[in-house]
Amino acid sequence: MSDDGHQSTGSENVPSRQRKRFPGISSRAYEHPADRSALVALRKLSGFDTVFKALSGLLPERSLRLLFLSDSVRVSDQQFTHLNDMLRDACYILDLEKVPPMYVNQDPQPNAMCIGLDEPIIVVTTGLVELLDEEEMRAVIGHEVGHALSGHAVYRTILLFLTNLAIRVAWIPLGNLAIMAIVTALREWFRKSELSADRAGLLVGQDLRASMRGLMKLAGGNHLHEMNVDAFLQQAEEYEAGGDLRDSVLKILNVLPRTHPFATVRAAELKKWAESREYQRILDGHYPRREEDKDTSVSDSFRESAAHYTTSVKNSKDPLMKLVTDIAGGAGGIGGRVRRGFDGFTSSPSADDRANGSDDSPRNGDGPTDTPPRDEN
């Protein structure tokens, strides 16, 4: 139940509890700095809305709407009523005036998305509905409502369209390269937008452990008795800090084809934000309002984004990021560290390393794998 009596669905093993509501909240309150600066810049572009409305005639949005209407189950007071209650409650908490239509699609792969140019629609798969408990599902629905409030549905639709187009024109070398360059840039932005939406999901559910469990289930399935949230977060720390420069490069290559960050990374990022003063201020009622969006400065948003990246690089434990920090600080011995960091990509040690008695070349079975990880919600 929300703080002023709005009824939310409960279950036998999850006690009813009050949730704070955020009247007039701007999506800027929870957006990741990189996501926020890109959105503010796009919204400030003259004729931006006109261009994308013109594009709507080329994009298959109407076809997608008809497809889900004809071959999925629409959430309502008569169908999937518990999901409908959670959707209405999420829109109520984030003060989204128009509740977007939501569909359940038969697909064993756990997934959810928010798409649409004119009006967003939310789609969740049966695999996701069957995987998550009520509080975990509430966070996911809040995540998708956060996408709708931020306007991410527009760019997600364009990303889907361009990805499909790249497949169709793959036989045209230059055309495919041009489209894939745009797709790669959109994916990088969209990965940041997922971190924003995770925060929106936490604002709706207001249960960090439930959000953590949901991300953990996306990685390891419905085996909570075999998993531990703290150990899962330790994986994220090991992922960031472990290895050498070779691993740093492989991390970049692994994430490039994905639209979502890795589950452990999302969990660590969300926990960090939940423990920040920024999150507590929102809960206390101090947050940007939508009525102030028109006065938002693009330059200020870019400065915030730049400051965030500077701090992230400075505090990162990743070997490549530490090298970047050392270079910026003028640290000595950089050349040797770079050479040693990449020696594993060659079959034999360098002459300098042989002279120093060092051999960091990989043994059998130690080389990197080129199998890409599964992309999940």
Active site residue 292: no
Determine how many CB atoms are found less than 10 A away from the CB of residue 155. 21
The pair of three-digit structure tokens given for residue 97, joined into one six-digit string: 């005036």
For residue 226, give the 3-state DSSP assignment: helix
Cα(158)–Cα(164) distance, integer angstroms:
10
Which residue spans within the chain are E strands per DSSP? Answer: 73-74, 102-105, 112-115, 121-125
Phi–psi pair at 333, nearest 5 degrees = 70, 20
Report the relative pairing of strands 112-115 and 102-105 from DSSP bridges.
unpaired
**Catalytic residue chosen out of the listed positions 144, 194, 304, 376:** 144
Phi/psi region, residue 24 (left: phi>0; alpha: psi -120 to 50; beta: rest), is left
Q: What is the secondary structure of 130-163 as a DSSP string?
A: HHS-HHHHHHHHHHHHHHHHHTHHHHHHHHHHHH
DSSP letter, residue 242: S
Phi–psi pair at 122, nearest 5 degrees = -110, 135
Q: Rounded to an integer, what is the distance from CA 136 to the centroid of its chain?
A: 16
Which residue numbers are catalytic? 144
